[in-house]
A = this chain, B = another copy of it.
Amino acid sequence: MDETEKRGIAEALILASMEPIPVARLAKMIPRCTPSKAKALVDSLNADYVAQQRAFEICEVAGGYQMRTHPEYKAYLAQLHKTRPLRLSNAALETLSIVAYRQPVTRGEVEQVRGVDAGPVMRSLLERKLVKIAGHREVPGRPMLYSTTKRFLEVFGLSDLEDLPTLRELEDLKPSDPIAAEAESATEGDDDSVVMPEPQLVDADVSLEDLEIAGKPH
């Protein structure tokens, strides 16, 4: 069996599959093929598609190959699907990011980072199957753990979690300021800092005029 035939088989399999095919599985379904050969077949198909200006390409998502249209056709394809595209609020995206990087993570840990209640957002992510329950943390109260799903990878076109911007890049976002470093250690088990005054300090009776004055540029 020559390369052309194998390429044809790979193409047919990827087109016909209802979900992304992992390279190892693809290799198994093609006679006398190895994963690295299968990858080469896919690369060569993709090169064809570029040269022939096809409207699609083979993408590596969720650990497998899938045929996907180019984004430039999105406006036309939106007419095709009866379901509206999956919209995600900033709150959902933030929560999803925290889950993705810190997984498995508890709701409390997410709330610690975002500073707001994570319940409703988490629920909506669970409903959309972007996040799943991943057991319990074995600490008092046994809080539920959350992690991202395969669908999360599919939706965002990630081949795996490694495909997310690496944690090192994340670290780079942090300035080298010593305060930040110190602050890190301060958050760890320094209970003194948790003592908070009562929240009635907020003066709710400020009128708009007061605001205008107070808000004037200094």
Chain A interfacial positions (CB closer than 8 Å to B): 4, 7-9, 11-13, 15-19, 21, 25, 29-30, 48, 52-56, 67, 69-70, 73, 76-77, 79-80, 82-92, 107, 117, 119-124, 126-129, 132-136, 144, 149-150, 157-159, 163, 165, 169-170, 172-176, 180-181, 184, 187-197, 205, 207-209, 212-213
Contacts and interface: CB of A to CB of B under 8 A. Distances in A.
22 contacts: A4-B53, A8-B53, A11-B56, A12-B70, A13-B80, A16-B77, A29-B79, A52-B52, A84-B193, A89-B187, A107-B173, A117-B175, A119-B176, A120-B184, A120-B188, A123-B173, A123-B174, A124-B192, A127-B213, A128-B194, A133-B165, A149-B205
A161 B190 CA distance: 29
Q: Which of A13, A83, A195 has the most CB of B within 10 A?
A: A83
A4 B205 CA distance: 35
Nearest to A67: B15
Given A70-B12, A157-B134, A209-B127, A89 B189 contact: yes
Given A11-B54, A83-B196, 19 more contacts: A11-B56, A12-B76, A12-B77, A13-B76, A25-B83, A52-B52, A89-B187, A89-B188, A117-B175, A120-B180, A120-B188, A122-B173, A126-B173, A126-B207, A127-B209, A136-B165, A144-B169, A149-B207, A150-B205
